[in-house]
């Protein structure tokens, strides 16, 4: 029997949604509410037979989800007639800390714990919780389920998830590597194993979007990850710095007079590709680089170089490599970044086929040469479907 699962990804000023019929995996409706809290918001709604956008005042997340529900139930193009037709709602929650190692049905204790973790993911957990509370109000009959970005990385061994600081900070404060984008890395790694027709694999999954991360996955389990205690280190991202010498932070505070809050804002919102080029959208950066902009060309090279270093480190950590998997908006669509990453990597068995790399597709595809020892795959991620699968299991 098929069930309607509503997937909600609630951000600070946006709310993404999909209504997926499970286990058939049929997407009945999807969309985005953006500019929540601004003077004029916008809702995009799409179903098999209809596609529309509407501008309206969306003062908060409650108004946003009510607008989504109105579209889902619209007499002309809706896909349900009553909210009771949705028995479960799956919520993406970014940080589960040490408390959540798996998907869980939400109750007051779970909400309280998510609230306690606000300081670890200040950009994400507060709006994630707001989405849960609003969904409880509008769909009181539905089972609310939390799927944590950090859960997939709970298997990372201590040698990789501990920081070399006094043990008391780990024992008392649980300061460690948590990792993020777990639903994406889990989804594409399982698809890669299906494609390779084997389970005992050594994979490196490269999730490149506005936020970026890489995971070393051995035999289906995350064994190392580029993001850590919070979602700002590792790779160079749209506005986040990625790895940085801690001495720079001390210098900014002690010598240049920045407050800790100002440094946090600098590293989260004003750094990365934006700080290097003035642009945060990679499409703009690639266009400028092609037109000779030196800063943009250097930023692309720095971005790819950081990824290459992690590939080398993870191949060493796993003592081998079967495939490198590119995914998410940039990973799936930027042939420029993939080319820069894979060039001069023959020693590790990576041989890019430039013709295959230039092809765009929504299907799983190989972009390496057939004779190469290591596969280079592009696999479109589907975090919503992964959340839907885990939510259905809770029913």
Annotated binding site for substrate: 92
* Residue found under tokens 């946006």: 14
Among candidates 253, 284, 285, which has minimal Cα distance to 266?
253
b/e burial code for range 71-108 (CB count within 10 A of at least 16 → b): bbebeebbbbeeeebbbbbbbbbbbbbebbeebbebee
Burial class (CB in 10 A: 0-12, 13-18, 19+), 200: exposed
Residue in 102, 107, 149, 200 annotated catalytic: 149
Which residues belong to the annotated binding site for ATP? 16, 207-211, 281-283, 329-333
Which residues belong to the annotated binding site? 9, 16, 92, 207-211, 281-283, 329-333, 383
b/e burial code for range 315-326 (CB count within 10 A of at least 16 → b): bebbeebbbbbb
**Catalytic residue status for 265:** no
Tokens (6 digits) for 179: 């990792």
Residues in contact with 77: Cβ distance below 8 Å, sequence separation at least 6, in sequence order: 47, 49, 50, 52, 71
Round to whole Å and give the CA distance between 159 and 161: 6
What element of type H or E holds 26? strand 26-34
Which residues belong to the annotated binding site for Mg(2+)? 9, 383
* Residue found under tokens 């790819």: 304
Contact (CB, 8 A) for 95 and 120: yes
Round to whole Å and give the CA distance between 262 and 367: 42
**Which residues are part of the catalytic machinery?**
149
């Amino acid at each position: 029997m098929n069930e309607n699962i509503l997937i909600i990804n609630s951000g600070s000023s946006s709310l993404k949604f999909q209504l997926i019929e499970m286990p058939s995996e049929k997407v009945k409706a999807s969309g985005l509410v953006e500019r929540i809290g601004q003077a004029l918001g916008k809702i995009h709604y799409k179903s098999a037979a209809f596609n529309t956008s509407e501008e309206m005042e969306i003062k908060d997340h409650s108004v946003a989800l009510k607008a989504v529900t109105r579209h889902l139930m619209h007499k002309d193009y809706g896909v349900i007639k009553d909210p009771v037709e949705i028995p479960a709602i799956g919520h993406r929650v970014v940080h589960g800390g040490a408390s959540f190692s798996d998907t869980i049905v939400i109750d007051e204790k779970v909400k309280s714990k998510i609230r306690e973790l606000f300081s670890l993911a200040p950009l994400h957990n507060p709006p994630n919780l707001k989405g849960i509370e609003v969904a409880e109000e509008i769909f009181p009959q539905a089972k609310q389920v939390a799927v944590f970005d950090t859960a997939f990385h709970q298997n990372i061994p201590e040698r990789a998830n501990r920081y070399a600081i006094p043990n008391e900070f780990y024992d008392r404060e649980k300061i460690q590597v948590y990792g993020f984008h777990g639903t994406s890395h889990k989804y594409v790694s399982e698809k890669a194993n299906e494609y390779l027709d084997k389970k005992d694999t050594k994979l490196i999954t490269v999730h490149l979007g506005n936020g970026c991360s890489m995971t070393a996955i051995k035999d289906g389990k995350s064994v190392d990850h580029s993001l850590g205690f919070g979602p700002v280190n590792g790779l160079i991202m749209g506005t986040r710095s990625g790895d940085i010498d801690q001495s720079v932070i001390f210098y900014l505070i002690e010598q240049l007079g920045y407050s800790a809050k100002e440094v946090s804002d600098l590293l989260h919102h004003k750094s990365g590709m934006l700080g290097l080029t003035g642009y945060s959208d990679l499409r703009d950066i690639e266009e400028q680089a092609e037109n000779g902009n030196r800063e943009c060309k250097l930023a692309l090279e720095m971005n790819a170089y950081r990824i290459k270093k992690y590939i080398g480190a993870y191949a060493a950590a796993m003592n081998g490599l079967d495939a490198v998997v590119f995914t998410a908006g940039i990973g799936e669509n930027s042939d420029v970044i993939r080319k820069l990453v894979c060039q001069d990597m023959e020693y590790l068995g990576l041989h890019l086929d430039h013709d295959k790399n230039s092809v765009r597709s929504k299907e799983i595809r190989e972009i390496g040469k057939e004779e190469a020892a290591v596969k280079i795959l592009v696999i479109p991620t589907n975090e919503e479907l992964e959340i839907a699968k885990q939510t259905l299991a809770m029913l």
